[in-house]
A = this chain, B = another copy of it.
């Protein structure tokens, strides 16, 4: 990593460039080029060009659509897309050109990224950014308006620190990472390459550690840090506390949705994905390639093994040692019906005892049959 300090002339002039200067180059490709590039079979004219993706319903004749969820199959017959990414089972029903893929959603993800590249920014440091003179910022990086960069920070190549972010002392951020806006990264946090942090995310807040005393609570100093691997995405307003002693660790490829809470000293294994509003309590370890749905609660000091799926709103209160799917939440019913059943739940132990007594008697009685 070339670690040049930015000369003053690289400061972006406020009046010449009052916010981010972005350029997006349109991309146009033929179906033939797409088929070759993504290893699809093509049914249709390879010279037809597309320049954007769209849904089956809204697509026009320059658009590429896809079908990955059977729910949207009714829209296939009427689509006006130039072509649709489908699997072999669906191609016969496709009324327009078809790019045939084993996994249409995955192929769609890749084609969409190609047709809709990230806008490119002009590197530089906005004149309103406050950057400590000891920070080392690569020349290809962008530091936005009203950003604060404290002492000892290192920012890698082509990384974008969007408007209003705060980057605390001795933070290290890798290359090609994007902090979209108003992200708080507190002291000593380490963030890898190619990460995306959405607005309002907080990394390195103080963990919730207090020892009870007669007079109330005594704060336990939160001395650890936060380490984020490569290719991690962090949703809007998600919070990740620093460790109490030692670090909170998010491994490579982890995807965290919005409003997730990760407590101190949690470790989340590589390529695990967690949906919105889930909370993970302190010192719990989650394995690799897990999928945790939304509003799940995971208690502290647990160990969840690799390849675990937890369905929405489940409370995980014990370690999970076997891969598989785990559930724990009841589902909505018409309210009066639910309340009647919930009232019986409150009698459940008593009902079970009555049943067992009855079975006992019955077995005696049954002996008389």
Seen from chain A, the residues whose Cβ lies within 8 Å of a Cβ on chain B are 14-15, 18-22, 53-55, 58, 69, 71, 103, 105-106, 108-110, 112-113, 116, 126, 128, 130-133, 144-146, 148-151, 162-164, 166, 168-169, 180-182, 184, 186, 196, 198-200, 202, 205-206, 208-213, 216-221, 223, 231, 233, 235-237, 239, 241, 245-246, 252-253, 255, 257-259, 261, 263, 270-271, 273, 275-277, 279, 281, 294-295, 297, 299, 301, 309-318, 320, 324-349, 351-352, 354-355, 358-359, 361-362, 365-366, 369
Q: Whole-angstrom distance from the CB of A230 to the nearest CB of chain B? A: 10
In the complex, which residues of chain B have a beta carbon less than 8 angstroms from the beta carbon of A271? 216-217
Once the chains are docked, how many angstroms separate the CA of A279 from the CA of B297? Answer: 14
Q: Whole-angstrom distance from the CB of A78 to the nearest CB of chain B? A: 16
In the complex, which residues of chain B have a beta carbon less than 8 angstroms from the beta carbon of A180? 184, 186, 205-206
Once the chains are docked, how many angstroms separate the CA of A182 from the CA of B204? Answer: 13
Q: Whole-angstrom distance from the CB of A343 to the nearest CB of chain B? A: 7
Contact of A314 among B53, B131, B332, B354 (CB under 8 A): B332
Once A200-B239, A327-B339 are accepted as A-B contacts, the answer to whether A332 and B317 lie under 8 Å apart by CB is yes
Once the chains are docked, how many angstroms separate the CA of A15 from the CA of B337? Answer: 64
